[in-house]
Structure 1
Amino acid sequence: MTTSEALKENEARRLEKLREYNILDTHTEDTFDKMALMALQVFEAQSAFITFVDEDRVFIKSNLSQLPHNEVDRRASISSIAILDDEVTVINDTNEIPFLKNSPLVALDGGVRFFAGAPLKSPEGYNVGAVCVCSDEPGSATATQIEMLRIIAKIIVDKLENKLRYRKNVEAQVNLMNIALHEIKNPLASIKLANEIIQKDPSAAGRMTEMIKSSVIRIQNKLDELLKQSEMEDKEMVMLIEEVDINDMFKRLLNSFDLLAYRKNQVIEVHCEDNLPAVEADRTKLSDILHNLLSNAIKYSYHGSTIKLMATHHEDYMRIEVKDEGQGLNREDVGRLFTKFAKLSSKPTGKETSNGLGLSITKSLVELHKGTIEAISEGKEKGTSFIILLPIKYKKEIEEEINSLHS
């Protein structure tokens, strides 16, 4: 990689980090203004700014000056110079810097003569902006002032990181709620259907009671998982890894979906390779994955069709396939299949509802297991196969090997 290419790549990553903070074009905040005021007082300067350097402009988050704007062209901004160095930039007299003489902020009456700026350096090492002070007379900075400006810059970055962590925690919590609510829909549908059958045929109450009991337990388990997750300080998904028997899990799936398939006169076939080893997985999350895929297969397949659940063992990986004879996928469907709220060409065949979250949730859960998922369809009206590859042993190191199996 050439020096020019390296600089472009670093700038792209710097801008990515800047956007991750979600700070551009936001309103003034008291916390940032106090940091700017502290810098102003330390230097006994005339103006102070907290700026963030975008691709072609500089956004001024805190503006303690007579400047009426909240952004300036990056080429005209002196603060954009401060992000070029990890140390505090001090310019005693801008008139002595040839390339600054023609800067609009320097050339105008009462323009900037003294400047000091400390970069706002992210934990990853990207200078996303600067805290700056300036005056219209030449000046200098003491070692103490420079150190204080560096400390203020660090406090500002800590504030940015705290806001970022909070936002990610909220997003993770919302995502967790979406997952839980989505997973509750299937057992609720089973309970509703069982109730309808009992009303039509009271003699079926015994068998339906077991179905309702199983669905209630599944809802309770999902709510318990949600409560445990919400109590944790770190809202990332927690994996409770144990050995899971795929044969046994398939049998439980059949019990859960027997009624839904029966209503559409569908047949669910199970094909498991002999002597399948147990797979190390989070039992609840793996069950959620298979529930989502089988629910989709039933929902989008025609009345009287066959759905196949298959599992085979390939060296260090388990291959699980859910194959249906449904409406299939076109090229556009495949491209957006695993995105949130995806709208596909296929429609439920039994007036079921869909919120577009199921497959995006499924993909996230598969990836938590260091596995991969893909959908294969020869086209519309030719059915779809969802293929999952899961490591038999749950290890982070084998993620790349799994990915290579699909390439």
Structure 2
Amino acid sequence: MLKYFQDDAPILYFLLNEGGVVLSINKYCRKLLGANIVGDNFEELLVDFQQSFTLEKYIHKSDTHHLLHLNIPNSLPRSYLFTFRRVNDAILVFGKSDAEELELLRSELLRANQELNNLTRSLQKKNAQLAHLNSVKNQFLGMATHDLRKPISVILTYTEFLLDETSEQLNSEHTGFLNKIENSALFMKRLVNDFLDVSAIEAGHFNLNITQVNPAEILEKSLVSARIPASKKRVDLDVKIQTGLSQIPVDADKIEQVMSNLIGNAIEHAPLGTTVCVALQETENKILFSVEDRGDGMSREAIKKIFSPFSRSSSTKTGSEKSTGLGLTISRKIIDAHQGKIVAESEEGRGTCFIVYLNKK
């Protein structure tokens, strides 16, 4: 009888010791699982989805068939009906296929596959709808912000004219009104420009004009516009530029936008009378641009969100300056488009440092 099971029958046969270790298997079992399972624990051959298998429990139910799943090498698990019987100091385990159970499993798999296909089609349809809505949103945002540029420019132009030409004829209260109008218009101009940048990036119209440029020249342009707000807040700019920097392939205007944004951001968070450190240096493969302030700093949680759209850092702007919450998002997208990297390092109470890595080739 045992010889029949061991040699010819398409039935699984295992001989186990009391600890559940496989001592012997039949030919069909060896073909299915491999001869190297001898010496393994029987439990290790199973795919126990419910983590409920114990050999002792099944031995006590020797007249019952148990549906178990075998882990088949290089294939999907297969289900068999097993019986367990104790013979002297050994345990005999027999397994056979159950056609009815296999058909049930096949039906379940087909139904699950059909449901998955339906969900996939539904998801693709919703993704297409979202992509269309996002495109419409970007188009509307671009048109709206573009149309806002002209009236904002008119407000700024006439406000500057009134401040320059009539400052001696106006009292301090009226001059203050004009300054508030100018500051609000400048903020609105930055807001419009940021929205236009974001809509262009999301619409896939973010094209780079790559040329070979000396990064020191880009930084010098950025510092020109940064020195005025720094002077108003009595913030010193400590600039260190390594001599003999290599030229790098970048879009000069976009990188100037990043540098101006980071320097301006540092000035806004710097306490009055402190120093903002700006550095530009070269390594073997990279150009490193860094900006560091002595502001409140940020927590680790805030740092994780700092490049997200409309995020607000936990640190306070010392001059109560307004911002769109898009500057750092745009900066990161610009650096990503250059295959570079931008990181933020901060410690609460000790300030924040932004570092930009740009490739030399």
Provide the TM-score with structure 1 as the length reference: 0.47
Amino acid at match of 1:261: A
1:386 aligns with 2:315: no
- Within the alignment, does 1:370 sit opposite 2:358 as a pair? no
User: Cα deviations across residues 111-152 of structure 1 (Å, max 9, x unaligned)?
Assistant: xxxxx99x89xxxxxx95339xxxxxxxxxxxxxxxxxxxxx
Instruction: State the distance in 2 between where 1:192 and 1:344 align.
Output: 34
For residues 344 and 144 of structure 2, the distance between their equivalents in structure 1, rounded to whole angstroms, comes to 23
Paired residue type of 1:280: P
1:157 to partner: Cα distance: 8.9
Q: What is the rounded CA distance, in whole Å, between the counterparts of 1:178 and 1:346 in structure 2?
A: 32
- Is the 8 Å Cα contact of residues 179 and 361 (structure 1) preserved in structure 2? no
SS at structure 2 position matched to 1:377: strand
Give the superposition deviation at 1:344. Answer: 2.4
Letter in 2 for 1:383: G
**TM-aligned CA deviation for residue 284 of structure 1:** 2.3
Letter in 2 for 1:169: S
Match of 1:166 in 2: 132
**Match of residue 129 from structure 1:** 117
User: Which of residues 327, 334, 348 in structure 1 aligns to 2:296?
Assistant: 327
Query: Given the alignment, which residue of 215, 225, 230 partners 1:261?
Result: 230
The one-letter amino acid paired with 1:129 is N
CA separation of 1:226/1:376 partners in 2, compared to 1, >3 Å: closer, same or farther?
Answer: closer
Unpaired runs of 5+ residues, structure 2, are 1-102, 170-181
> 1:130 is paired with a residue of what secondary structure?
helix
Task: Tell me what 1:300 maps to.
Answer: 269
Letter in 2 for 1:130: N
Does 1:316 find its partner at 2:285?
yes
Contact 1:328/1:379 (8 A) holds in 2: yes
Alignment partner of 1:129: what SS? helix
Question: Are residues 298 and 162 of structure 1, via their aligned partners in 2, closer, same or farther at CA, if it must alter by over 3 Å?
Answer: same
8 Å CA contact 1:172–1:236 kept in 2: the answer is no
CA-based RMSD: 5.2
Select which of 320, 329, 333 maps to 1:360: 329
Give distance in 2, aligned partners of 1:194 and 1:262.
Answer: 20
Task: Write the distance in 1 (CA, Å) between the matches of 2:158 and 2:234.
Answer: 18
Distance 2:163 2:231 in 1: 11
Q: Is the 8 A contact 1:194 1:259 kept in 2?
A: no
2:244 equivalent to 1:275: yes
Q: Which structure has the larger Rg?
A: 2
Identity of aligned residues (%): 24
Query: Aligned in 2, Cα 1:270/1:98: closer, same or farther, shift over 3 Å?
Result: closer
**Structure 1 unpaired stretches of 5+:** 1-96, 104-115, 121-126, 132-152, 203-211, 394-407
Compared CA separation, residues 239 and 390, structure 1 to 2 (3 A): same
1:246 equivalent in structure 2: 215
- Cα separation, partners in 2 of 1:164 and 1:263, compared to 1, 3 Å: same
For residue 331 of structure 2, what is the amino acid of its counterpart? T
- For 1:340 and 1:168, locate their aligned partners in 2 and report how far apart those are by CA, in whole Å: 16
User: Matches of 2:239 and 2:262 in 1, distance apart?
Assistant: 14
Q: 1:271 to 1:196 in 2, by over 3 A?
A: farther
Tell me the matched-pair count: 243
**2: distance between equivalents of 1:292 and 1:366?**
13
